[in-house]
Amino acid sequence: MPIDFLGSVFLDGTDIPYWEQIKTYGPAVTLLAGIKWYMGGNNNIWDRDLHGKVYMVTGGTSGLGARTTFEMAQKGAQILMLVRSTEDQWLVDYIEDMREKTNNPLIYAEECDLASLHSVRLFATKWLDNSPPRRLDGVVCCAGELIPRGKPRQITIDGVERQIAINYLAHFHLLTLLAPSFKVQPADRDVRVVITTCSSQAMAQIDFKDLLWSERQYPKGNPLKVYGTSKLMLGLFAKSYQRQLNVYERKDKNPVNVKISIVNPGLMRTQSMRRFISMGSLLGLICYMILWPLWFIIFKSPFQGAQSVLFALYAPIFAKGDGGNLVQECRILKEGSRREYQSEEFQDELFTKTEQLITTLEKQLAIERKKQELKQNKDDKNKNNKKKTTESKEKHYINEKPKTVGELDSRINELRNLIGMGQQLSSKELPLFPDQTVDSIVGKASNPTKRKGKKV
């Protein structure tokens, strides 16, 4: 009966206003809405009170990280954003704004430039230096670098390929340096680490001989290969690291309660995605903007992308088990898309090799820094010496006898300038040497015996 009714309404029409337009465009709009809804992915249904909990977030200033920070701050978490630099007025305003909107004053930023291993170490050392150890309930790793097609190879100040350095090496370094902090958290504290991965890891190519993509150029036809490799390596590191934490024996014999999740948020309309599609060019940006309705339909918003991250942070299931779960669309995947996820041996070898590479790099960089420091000190010393010589010359200058009339004139003018009298004698002004000409002064100054003999 309802089908008959709907059929006759659809075919014969009704009194509904704009029925003809609805009939023409309705199916297409419904289809697009359906695609948009489907592409939006699943929603996290779990909630957690984060008051009194402390989380570090990388990449909290944009896209997925910004949205995740916002959601966590709304739940009352204390957030420490790890940022490239804290000397940034924009960052100050951003944090103020977020504090206001979430009604949470406990949002802070610390410098930890992921493009520099030294900066990561400085931050971690500062964190570990606290006594008693600081509370840490989790680390959310959302920072990432994606270099668009056609861009030349980019390296960090450490000389490492940029995507590998920021997406993989820096997070590896940060999380392993934080190990002592993880290990001293009370055993009943539910500590969670979330790292973000991407479907592009399907294109990854890990080469143990060139782990940091130092020898190879960017593959021309496949701009996501290096990025995907960094993401796969990060996921495999998480697996190996989780096992190491699981077997660690604490003094109180309790297990280390840190659970790492490897989360794929899905494709989102974020800054890095925009830059990737527009290939970092103005023309590309214009095309991106023209095609925006398409991106609006097929890509998630950062809020939708954050759902799986929040699921990994809130759902009680993650507090149990061995950790190292792969998460996508608010579900735990049984196995990863790559066979490397099944090989513990491969993961452990990757861990060891990366650790060695970081040690070597840090040593080289420390030597380089020391050399620079010595050179700087030497330059500063030379500059200071030069300054001192000039200063002492200037000091003696006033006591020296002028050799010519011109010199005497110029010194008098200098003195007049110093005391603000100007260079020209005004008619009302008394001369400095009232009844003597400049010549006689020079003469007397250069012939003291003559002066002595003169009767006054």
Ligand X SMILES: NC(=O)c1ccc[n+]([C@@H]2O[C@H](COP(=O)([O-])OP(=O)(O)OC[C@H]3O[C@@H](n4cnc5c(N)ncnc54)[C@H](OP(=O)(O)O)[C@@H]3O)[C@@H](O)[C@H]2O)c1
347 binds ligand X (CB under 6 A): no
235 binds ligand X (CB under 6 A): no
Least distance to ligand X, CB of residue 267, Å: 4
Distance separating alpha carbons of residues 123 and 174, to the nearest angstrom = 9
Least distance to ligand X, CB of residue 341, Å: 17
Choose the stretch contacting ligand X; rule: CB under 6 A; options: 23-31, 113-121, 218-226, 410-418. Answer: 113-121
Asked whether 142 and 63 are in contact (CB, 8 A), the reply is yes
169 binds ligand X (CB under 6 A): no
Lay out the site mask for ligand X across 39-58 (x = CB under 6 A, - = otherwise): -------------------x
Least distance to ligand X, CB of residue 78, Å: 19
Binder to ligand X among 114, 117, 191, 262 (CB under 6 A)? 114
The four Cα atoms 164, 166, 168, 172 give a dihedral, to 10 degrees, of: 140
Query: What is the enclosing helix (H) or strand (E) of 62?
Result: none
**Number of chain residues interacting with ligand X (CB under 6 A):** 26
309 binds ligand X (CB under 6 A): no
Choose the stretch contacting ligand X; rule: CB under 6 A; options: 12-20, 38-46, 268-276, 351-359. Answer: 268-276
Compare residues 64 and 256 and give the one whose CB is closer to ligand X. Answer: 64
Compare residues 104 and 272 and give the one whose CB is closer to ligand X. Answer: 272
Choose the stretch contacting ligand X; rule: CB under 6 A; options: 10-18, 213-221, 245-253, 265-273. Answer: 265-273
Binder to ligand X among 267, 285, 332, 357 (CB under 6 A)? 267
Catalytic residue among 53, 231, 259, 300: 231
The neighbour count for residue 299, using CB atoms within 10 Å, is: 21
Choose the stretch contacting ligand X; rule: CB under 6 A; options: 27-35, 97-105, 138-146, 320-328. Answer: 138-146
268 binds ligand X (CB under 6 A): yes
Binder to ligand X among 61, 78, 185, 242 (CB under 6 A)? 61
E strands within 227-281?
258-264
Of 34, 37, 48, 35, nearest to 309 by C-alpha is 48
Least distance to ligand X, CB of residue 293, Å: 18
Least distance to ligand X, CB of residue 96, Å: 16
54, 71, 76, 243 from 51: Cα distances, Å: 9, 13, 4, 29
Residues in the chain: 456
Q: Answer yes or no: 386 catalytic.
A: no
Choose the stretch contacting ligand X; rule: CB under 6 A; options: 111-119, 277-285, 290-298, 388-396. Answer: 111-119
Least distance to ligand X, CB of residue 158, Å: 11
**In the beta sheet, which residues pair with residue 332?**
327
Binder to ligand X among 55, 72, 102, 113 (CB under 6 A)? 113
Compare residues 148 and 443 and give the one whose CB is closer to ligand X. Answer: 148
Asked whether 439 and 405 are in contact (CB, 8 A), the reply is yes
Query: Tokens for 101?
Result: 């909107």
Choose the stretch contacting ligand X; rule: CB under 6 A; options: 136-144, 315-323, 341-349, 424-432. Answer: 136-144
End-to-end CA distance of the chain: give it in Å, rounded.
Answer: 138
Strand order in the sheet with 258-264: 107-111, 78-83, 54-58, 138-141, 191-196, 258-264, 325-328, 331-333
Binder to ligand X among 272, 278, 304, 328 (CB under 6 A)? 272
Binder to ligand X among 50, 73, 109, 115 (CB under 6 A)? 115
Q: 372 CB contacts (<8 Å, ≥6 apart)?
A: none
64 binds ligand X (CB under 6 A): yes
Asked whether 292 and 343 are in contact (CB, 8 A), the reply is no
**In the beta sheet, which residues pair with residue 35?**
none
Lay out the site mask for ligand X across 194-233 (x = CB under 6 A, - = otherwise): --x-x-----------------------------------
- Output 185-189 pairs: Cβ under 8 A, ≥24 positions apart: 185/133, 185/135, 185/136, 185/257, 185/258, 187/250, 187/252, 187/254, 187/255, 187/257, 188/257, 189/135, 189/137, 189/257
Compare residues 256 and 269 and give the one whose CB is closer to ligand X. Answer: 269
Of 173, 182, 199, nearest to 58 by C-alpha is 173
Q: 437 CB contacts (<8 Å, ≥6 apart)?
A: none
160 binds ligand X (CB under 6 A): no
Using CB atoms within 10 A of its CB, is residue 289 exposed (0-12), middle (13-18) or buried (19+)? exposed
Alpha carbons within 13 A on the beta-carbon side of 43: 4
Binding site for ligand X (CB under 6 A): 58-59, 61-65, 83-84, 113-115, 142-145, 166, 196, 198, 265, 267-268, 270-273
Active site residues: 231
